[in-house]
Amino acid sequence: MDDILFLLSQTMIFAIPLLIVALGGLFSERSGVINIALEGIMVIGAFCGIFFIHFMQDSMNPQLCLIIAILIAGVAGMIFTLFHAIASIHLKADQTISGTALNIFAPAFCIFVARLIQQTQQVEFTDVFRIKEIPILSSIPIIGDILFKNTYITTFLGILILIISWFILYKTKFGLRLRSCGELPQAADSAGINVYKMRYAGTLISGFLAGIGGLVFVLPTSTNFNADVAGYGFLALAVLIFGQWKPWRIAGAAFFFGFMKTIASAYSGIDFFLSLGIPNYFYKITPYIATLLVLAFVSKNSAAPKAEGEPYDKGKR
């Protein structure tokens, strides 16, 4: 039981950033713009957020510092994504091309800037943001152990973003309009909705969230940042598709994949798994094979937004 609680609690390290970034991708794709640049945006977001922390962590309250860093990461991601948005919305460029360009650009840019500023490419930080225990809540059985002990505000942020995303997409005027732009922009246009504006909004939100996701990804995993998020941007894209472009399913996919990854990397600390004597690489592969198998069963009807990837052209019918 203890082990399971531990695994669930550790799952957050994988699942929360995947969730946040995939939700970012959701906004973009639901507005009709494929965002393959999530990886690069994560790198930029993490870089800017960590740089802020690097300079400020000693001089301010840790949680305040983290919140500002999160905002900086989000805004940086958003500004960076603006390039993707301009290319794919206004200039009607192929969305894969500008996305790929951003992915190549981001790490190179971060290394360049880091060296310009501090002569080394790694940006160091100290993880002072962990909350050991949240009073009262942490004593709730099970949930308390998973969510309210040894936790980060980012975990709640992730869950909050999930709820807000769902709310925005399905309960607000903005969400309705955004989704219509991803399905049939002509309909939106003739209903007086500015498709370009909505797509900018969707894409920039995705940049904001992916930037945050990058920071959230790096914080608990290291003590420095080296312009790399280890392919998790692409995995977030996979989670988005796995989650069939729907917020709760994305959450399900993120936690499923996160949990599998957790078992795969934590098994050696758990006697039960250790006693099985299964080779390490078997565990490493399992999350991927499991995902592939699940996909084989759930993909019959794809729910991809109909107009995603197509630049909107007023003239085209």
Ligand X SMILES: Nc1ncnc2c1ncn2[C@@H]1O[C@H](COP(=O)(O)OP(=O)(O)OP(=O)(O)O)[C@@H](O)[C@H]1O
Yes or no: say if 1 and 222 are a contact pair by the CB < 8 Å rule.
no
Element (H, E) at 276: helix 271-276
Q: By CB under 6 A, how many residues form the interface with ligand X?
A: 3
Q: CA 132, 135, 136 angle in degrees (round to 5)?
A: 135
Determine phi and psi for 149, rounding to 5 degrees. -115, 140
Beta-bridge mates of residue 149: 133
List the one residue from 137, 140, 160, 223 that touches another protein (CB under 8 A).
223
Please, what is the minimum distance in Å from the beta carbon of residue 92 to ligand X? 12
What gap in Å lies between CA 138 and CA 144, rounded to an integer? 4
Question: Is residue 307 within 8 Å of 185, Cβ to Cβ?
Answer: yes
190 counts as binding ligand X under rule CB under 6 A: no
Considering the complex, what minimum distance in angstroms separates the CB of residue 313 from ligand X? 8
C-beta of 160 vs 230, nearer to another protein: 230
Residues 39-68 that bind another protein (CB under 8 A): none
**Which residue, 186 or 224, is less far from ligand X as judged by CB?**
186
Build a one-symbol-per-residue string for 288-317: x at contacts with ligand X by CB under 6 A, - elsewhere: ---------------------------xxx
Residue 29 CA to residue 163 CA, distance in Å, equals 18
Residue 132 or 317: which CB sits closer to ligand X?
317
CA gap 128, 159 in Å, rounded = 21
The interface mask with another protein, positions 5-24, x = CB under 8 A, is -x---x--xx----------
Question: Which of the residues 62 through 101 are near ligand X (CB under 6 A)?
Answer: none
Residue 238 touches which of ligand X, another protein, none (CB < 5 to 8 A by kind)?
another protein
